[in-house]
Structure 1
Amino acid sequence: MARLLVGLVAVAVAFSVYALVDCLLFARARVRGLPKLVWVFIVLLFPVIGAVLWFLIGRGRKNPRLQPVYRTVGPDDDPDFLGNLRAEPVTDAQLRELEQQLAEVDDDPDAGRADTGRSER
């Protein structure tokens, strides 16, 4: 009988501590019924009953209106971004022009460098 009583007390303490931590870490905007500080005192003053009341009354459900409407989406997952991409083929003339520009940059070592106004010594 004593083992059962010790077990029940241990379960009640664990449940009350869990409820207290949950109450402290719960978002203030989602708490129902009473202010968050009052719920903490209820859980502390009435350990098992306060914990049960916290889970039944005080702990609000997720509210979709409180969730952010916009979320960050990478460009690979964004259908709007992907829809705006157009695969325009590069013509041979454009390719030759780009190759010529690269060849000019390779021939002239100062072409790619920005002019800083300093003279080299």
Structure 2
Amino acid sequence: MYVIFSFLLLALMIGALVDIIRSDEGRIKHLPKIVWVLLVVFLPLIGSVLWFVIGREYDRRPAENVSFGDPRRWHREPPAAPAAGPPKDTRSTEEQLAELEREIEYYERLRRPDQTP
């Protein structure tokens, strides 16, 4: 019984250490990478469990839909069309400047209420 527990604990510890070392710094939560390594080495059971529960960030992407059987059916969805950017302004530069000047005049009149529009 103790031998099985020891091997399971060793496997869990090695798995946690490999996962910590291979993880990117941006995907590690709460503590720096070296602290997680030391925690797993000095407290193998608690450190490993804590690592897998709260220390690592898991992907939130949905799993890919792969059908079993005929490989020709393993199609992927085509990539989505690129999002359209902001609408193009088709006015000429002179028209844009004239509109800006009208807007400036409007706000200047609002600022000075003693003049009538």
TM-score, length basis structure 1: 0.48
TM-score, length basis structure 2: 0.50
